[in-house]
């Protein structure tokens, strides 16, 4: 498998979903630019990621399907009776608050592992075989790709874990009692916590830990089958990170984070963004359109499918904005749950200022980087949030599940956007979303709140990028390179 004895072999193991794989691909690109002549890089994942494998990187296939595909196979009924039953939405979407956190805890293992335990073991055994056959000098593993992590631990191989999440998601156990000052995952509670929410927040944390680690039958079943196959301990994501003797890399920036203790094994790299070509080199027609007027970009994530009711309410809000602000336009990537018609062209005075598409050729980051996006409406996923943060773009978050609520809860603390469905999540309230649009974009070009928010976003962008001189992918690549050198020195 090796291409050259003089070049070090570096193996990346990752989930195939964009939310996880994007930062792996970003770091691979950076390593190629910094140390390409010294490395043979391998990327190991499920087959669906092969089409995104960079040039001069060898792709190694794990036979099977990623976690999202397993989940969709089990619950996606959007093509059945036009998605009227909403089965996928019921299983995936959770409301914020105490009840939402409880529902999240109850469904956590099923979301992360919709596959059968035997499938999981099969994936881990394949990773084990790939590592043994390749014998890499060092391994970089996606923190959520648990089959890969299990294989690495069973073989006692050295690795570094790369995560698109924040230090808050990774260092919860290291906070001690101070963890109860943080909003519990899934609640969407703001920070600092209001006094009246502290009891429910504390109960949410306690229930979450007790249920998943002690009472969740599916979690226990996975551990039983794993252990019988030689993979020790708890599922890797739930193991004590301090005892792993493995370093983690994440996308946080210490100065733009909720206060907490950052352990020695965790490095905050800052936003790790995909390398994207300029928009004009990818889609000149879209570039010309985006640059005509200040643009609101609406992209609700790779896996977020929008119901007809949600889309119609959002459209009403968009039209109200376009009525008030004749100088702005809206680009909306709409992925429908089921099949329905949305009338984007019924208003002749707005038709050239509203573009609704089901697919975008460029990555949304390329559009954000034009500097002409005045508001980024997204689902609150980590990649989207940090793209908005790094580009200095005010955001409206429309979360519907899991960690997305955490980013929505941060907005009031950092004043870099507005939670657009705080009262209606995981759905939408047209008046609430309209108000959010008018706050972030401004009812007039010189609206004071919108101007303050714009300035604040620029300030935060300057911090996380150090005025455009720092890239999270560079920090991560340097850390990986340093650990690789340590491993090579041990072999001398």
Say if residue 247 is in the same domain as residue 329.
no
Same domain? For 310 and 262 the reply is no
- pLDDT for 305 equals 84
Q: Are residues 250 and 361 in the same domain?
A: no
Nearest to 370 by CA among 396, 353, 391: 391
Provide the 8-state DSSP code for 415.
T
| Residue among 13, 70, 92 at smallest CA distance from 402 | 92
Is the pLDDT at 175 greater than 80? The verdict is: yes
* Burial call 58-86: b when 16+ CB within 10 Å, e when fewer: bebebebbbbbbbbbeebbbbeeeebeee
Please check the confidence at residue 1 and state whether its pLDDT lies above 50: no
Whether residue 235 lies inside any domain: the answer is yes
pLDDT tens profile 63-119 = 999 998 998 888 776 555 444 555 566 667 889 999 999 998 998 898 899 999 999
pLDDT greater than 90 at residue 8: yes
CB 387 within 8 A of CB 273: yes
Please compute the mean of the pLDDT values over residues 17-29 and round it to a whole number. Answer: 96
- Kindly state the helix (H) or strand (E) to which residue 46 belongs, with its residue range: strand 39-46
Nearest in space to 208 (alpha carbons), one of 97, 104, 95, 92: 104
How much is the pLDDT for 79?
A: 58
3-state secondary structure 102-148: HHHHHHHHHHHCCCCHHHHHHHHHHHHHHHHHHCCCEEEEECCCHHH
**CA–CA gap between residue 335 and residue 483 (Å, rounded):** 41
The C-alpha atoms of residue 319 and residue 288 are separated, in whole angstroms, by: 22
Number of Cβ atoms within 10 Å of the Cβ of 333: 19
Radius of gyration over every alpha carbon of the chain, rounded to an integer in angstroms: 23
Share of the chain above pLDDT 70, in %: 95
Kindly report the CATH number assigned to the domain that includes residue 362: 3.40.50.2000
For residue 213, the 8-state DSSP code is I
| Residue 163 belongs to a domain | yes
**Strand locations in 350-398 (E):** 354-357, 373-378, 395-397
Are residue 314 and residue 172 in the same domain, yes or no?
A: no
- Mean pLDDT, to the nearest integer, of 219-234? 97
Token pair 């055994």 in the structure block, residue: 125
Q: Is the pLDDT of residue 362 over 60?
A: yes
Q: Are 368 and 253 in the same domain?
A: no
pLDDT value of position 345: 58
First-to-last CA distance in the chain? 22
116-133 average pLDDT score? 98
Tokens representing 36? 């390409």
Q: Which of 223-227, 342-346, 365-369, 402-406 has the lowest mean pLDDT?
A: 342-346
Q: Are 131 and 151 in contact (CB under 8 A)?
A: yes
pLDDT at 77 (0 to 100): 63
pLDDT of residue 3: 46
- Residue 293 inside a domain? The answer is yes
For 418-435, letters b (16+ CB in 10 Å) and e give bbbbbebbbbbbbebbbe
Residues 288 and 178 in one domain: no
Q: Number of folded domains in the chain?
A: 2
pLDDT band at 402 (very low <50, low <70, confident <90, very high): confident
Predicted confidence at residue 74, as pLDDT, reads: 81
Q: Decide: 351 and 344 in contact? Cβ < 8 Å.
A: yes
Helix (H, G, I), strand (E, B), or coil: what is residue 255?
helix
Looking at the fold, whether 395 and 343 belong to one and the same domain comes out as yes
Helices and strands: H and E segment counts in the chain: 18, 13
Is 2 inside a domain boundary?
A: no
Structural domain including 306 reads 279-465
161 strand-pairing partners: 141, 248
Looking at residue 91, its pLDDT comes to 67
Assigned domain for 100 exists: no
Q: Read off the tokens for 324.
A: 């008030």
Task: DSSP for 20-40, please give it.
Answer: HHHHHHHHHHHHHHHHGGGEE
Average pLDDT score over residue span 206-231: 96
pTM of the model: 0.94
The answer to the question of residue 212 being in a domain is: no
Check whether residue 224 and residue 339 sit in a common domain. Answer: no
Domain membership of residue 73 (yes or no) is no
Tell me the DSSP string of 352-385. Answer: GGEEEES--SS-HHHHHTTS-EEEEEE---HHHH
pLDDT of residue 401: 82
For all residues of the chain together, what is the average pLDDT? 93
One domain, residues 252 and 350: no
CA–CA separation, 239 vs 102, rounded Å? Answer: 21
- The pairing of strands 159-162 and 247-250 is parallel
Q: How far is it, in rounded angstroms, from Cα 322 to Cα 458? A: 25
Per-residue confidence at 180, pLDDT binned at 50, 70, 90? very high
Which position has the higher pLDDT, 73 or 476? 476
Confidence of residue 2 (pLDDT cuts 50, 70, 90): very low
The answer to whether residue 107 sits within a structural domain is no
Instruction: Mark whether 258 and 347 lie in a shared domain.
Output: no
Peptide bond into 192 cis (omega under 30): yes
pLDDT digits (tens, 9 = 90+) for 50-61: 999 999 999 999
Name the residue with higher pLDDT: 242 or 471: 471
Residue 244 confidence (pLDDT) above 90: no
For residues 486 and 461, state if they share a domain. no
Q: In this structure, are residues 77 and 87 in contact, taking their beta carbons and an 8 Å threshold?
A: yes
pLDDT computed for residue 67 by the predictor: 92
Spatial contact of 15 and 43, defined as CB atoms under 8 Å apart? no
d(CA 305, CA 311): 10
């Amino acid at each position: 498998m090796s291409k050259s004895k003089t070049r070090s072999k570096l193996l990346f193991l990752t989930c195939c979903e964009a939310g996880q794989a994007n930062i792996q691909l970003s770091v691979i690109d950076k390593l190629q630019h910094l140390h390409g002549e010294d490395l043979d890089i391998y990327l190991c994942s499920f087959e669906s990621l092969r089409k995104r494998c960079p040039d001069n990187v060898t792709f190694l296939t794990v036979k099977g399907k990623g976690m999202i595909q397993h989940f969709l196979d089990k619950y996606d009924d959007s093509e059945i009776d036009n998605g009227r039953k909403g089965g996928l939405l019921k299983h995936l979407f959770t409301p914020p608050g105490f009840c939402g956190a409880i529902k999240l805890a109850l469904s956590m293992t099923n979301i992360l592992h919709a596959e059968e335990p035997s499938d999981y073991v099969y994936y881990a055994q394949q990773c084990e075989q790939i590592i043994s056959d390749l014998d890499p000098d060092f391994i970089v593993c996606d923190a959520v790709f648990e089959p890969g992590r299990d294989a690495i631990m069973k073989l006692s191989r050295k690795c570094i874990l790369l995560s698109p999440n924040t230090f808050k998601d990774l260092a919860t156990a290291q906070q001690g009692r101070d963890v109860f000052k943080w909003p519990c995952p899934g609640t969407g509670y703001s920070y600092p916590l209001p006094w009246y929410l502290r009891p429910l927040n504390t109960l949410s944390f306690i229930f979450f830990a007790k249920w998943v680690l002690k009472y969740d039958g599916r979690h226990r079943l996975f551990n039983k089958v794993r252990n019988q196959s030689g993979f020790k301990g708890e599922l890797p994501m739930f193991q004590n990170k301090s005892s792993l003797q493995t370093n983690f890399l994440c996308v946080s920036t210490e100065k733009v984070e909720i206060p907490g203790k950052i352990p020695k094994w965790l490095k905050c790299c800052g936003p790790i963004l995909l390398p994207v070509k300029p928009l004009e080199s990818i889609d000149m027609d879209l570039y010309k359109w985006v640059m005509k007027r200040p643009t609101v970009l609406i992209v609700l994530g790779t896996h977020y499918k929008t119901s007809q009711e949600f889309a119609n309410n959002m459209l009403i809000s968009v039209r109200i904005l376009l009525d008030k602000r004749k100088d702005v336009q809206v680009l909306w990537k709409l992925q429908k749950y089921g099949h329905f018609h949305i009338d984007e062209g019924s208003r002749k005075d707005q038709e050239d200022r509203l573009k609704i598409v089901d697919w975008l050729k460029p990555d949304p980051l390329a559009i954000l980087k034009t500097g002409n996006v005045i508001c980024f409406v997204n689902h609150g996923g980590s990649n989207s949030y940090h793209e908005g943060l790094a580009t200095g773009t005010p955001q409206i978050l429309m979360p519907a599940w899991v960690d997305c609520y955490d980013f929505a809860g941060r907005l009031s603390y950092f004043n870099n956007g507005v939670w657009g469905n705080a009262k209606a999540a995981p759905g939408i309230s047209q008046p609430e979303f309209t108000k959010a649009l008018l706050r972030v974009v401004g009812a007039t070009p010189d609206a004071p709140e919108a101007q303050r928010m714009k300035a604040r976003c620029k300030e935060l962008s300057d911090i996380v990028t150090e005025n455009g001189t720092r890239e999270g992918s560079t920090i991560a690549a340097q850390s990986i390179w340093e650990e690789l050198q340590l491993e090579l020195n041990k072999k001398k």
